[in-house]
Amino acid sequence: MRKFSRKSVIIAILFTATIFCPLAPGRAHGNPLPFQAGERLNFQIKWSFIPAGTAILEVAPPPENIKGAYLHFILKAKTYPAISLIYKFWERIDSYTSGRATRTILYKKIQKGRTKRDITVSFAWDKQEARYTNFDDTRKPITVPPGTLDPLSAFYFVRTQCLTVGQTLERPITDGKKVVIGRLHVLKRETLKIKGHAIATFKLEPELKDVKGVFEKSKHARMYIWVTADSRKVLVKIKSKIIVGSFVATLVNLEALTGPAVIKQ
């Protein structure tokens, strides 16, 4: 398959387009979702040892005006003012999915800075098609396999899965221009210390062969992702070393989650 077009470094670090899993059990099995409306994850992003920006992941209330959509996920990311003098970046992504995030209904991305985008990817599941629009550029629909997700909803979908060390998980993903199969390897269990808290996690590694930009230019690029080793599978850390340096995104605050917070401010 053809590769994705160049992504921003911050978004590529936080949400690589290769985090996917097999189909989750349906609601009929009585499995509750590990997230709820009002959940908010706050991250700090560092380039080497330099604080570079922030990112926020949110679960919004169910949309009322989008047919077939029951979940609404939001990603907001931006560079700090000092970093913006060198490289300014601001982005918001909205993803609308089915009831258990098993397929995307609508995907939107607005990006400001050196590169500007106003992307909408509309899905017509009766035809198994997705159509990409960026400002006035509307492309021909592409065929999408059943269960195809966008890069943002894929992160939430992985949280609905039961992870086992040694697994290699797969899921189709699209950015509206092409479809790839993302693969994620569950490497091991590992205890992290974040803000003085010991957190039991799964260490994951996504394949990067379908991610272009800085990852494509880095011959030995690797990325590691840590999620809590419980039913929530909250993202707590992402680390990657690429040609322009090393990046780390760390969870600094978690809000509005039923039960004890993973990390307290």
Strands 71-79, 50-60: pairing kind: antiparallel
pLDDT digits (tens, 9 = 90+) for 236-259: 999 987 665 678 999 999 886 554
pLDDT of residue 245: 67
pLDDT in tens, the chain (265 residues): 434 333 344 444 444 433 333 333 333 344 789 999 999 999 999 988 889 999 999 999 989 999 999 999 999 999 999 888 888 889 999 999 998 899 999 999 999 988 899 999 999 999 999 999 999 999 999 999 999 999 899 889 889 889 999 998 899 999 999 999 888 899 999 999 888 889 999 999 988 765 544 334 445 678 899 999 999 999 999 998 766 567 899 999 988 655 434 443 2
Closest by Cα among 76, 54, 72 to 62: 72
Q: Which two tokens stand for residue 37?
A: 């409306």
CB 187 within 8 A of CB 203: yes
CB 160 within 8 A of CB 171: no
Buried residues in 173-202 as b, exposed as e (16+ CB within 10 A)? bbbbebbbebbbebeeeeebebeeeebebb
pLDDT of residue 169: 86
Strands 71-79, 104-113: pairing kind: unpaired
Closest by Cα among 76, 55, 34, 59 to 252: 55
Closest by Cα among 126, 43, 30, 35 to 72: 35
d(CA 157, CA 171): 10
d(CA 56, CA 74): 8
pLDDT of residue 195: 80
pLDDT digits (tens, 9 = 90+) for 103-150: 999 999 999 988 899 999 999 999 999 999 999 999 999 999 999 999
Q: Which two tokens stand for residue 175?
A: 């950015």
Taking the CA atoms of 227, 228, 234 and 238 in sequence, report the sign of the dihedral they define: negative
pLDDT of residue 209: 67
Which residues contact residue 191 at a Cβ distance below 8 angstroms, ignoring those fewer than 6 apart? Answer: 198, 199, 200, 201
Which residues contact residue 263 at a Cβ distance below 8 angstroms, ignoring those fewer than 6 apart? Answer: 194, 195, 197, 199, 236, 251, 252, 253, 254
Q: Which domains does the chain have, with CATH numbers?
A: 9-252 (2.40.360)
Where do the H-state alpha helices sit in 50-208? 81-84, 151-158
Please give the C-alpha separations between residue 157 and each of 17, 25, 71, 115, 241, in angstroms, as whole numbers.
Answer: 13, 11, 11, 29, 25
For the beta carbon of residue 50, count every other beta carbon within 10 angstroms. 11
pLDDT of residue 219: 58
d(CA 126, CA 39): 32
pLDDT of residue 217: 41
d(CA 180, CA 148): 9
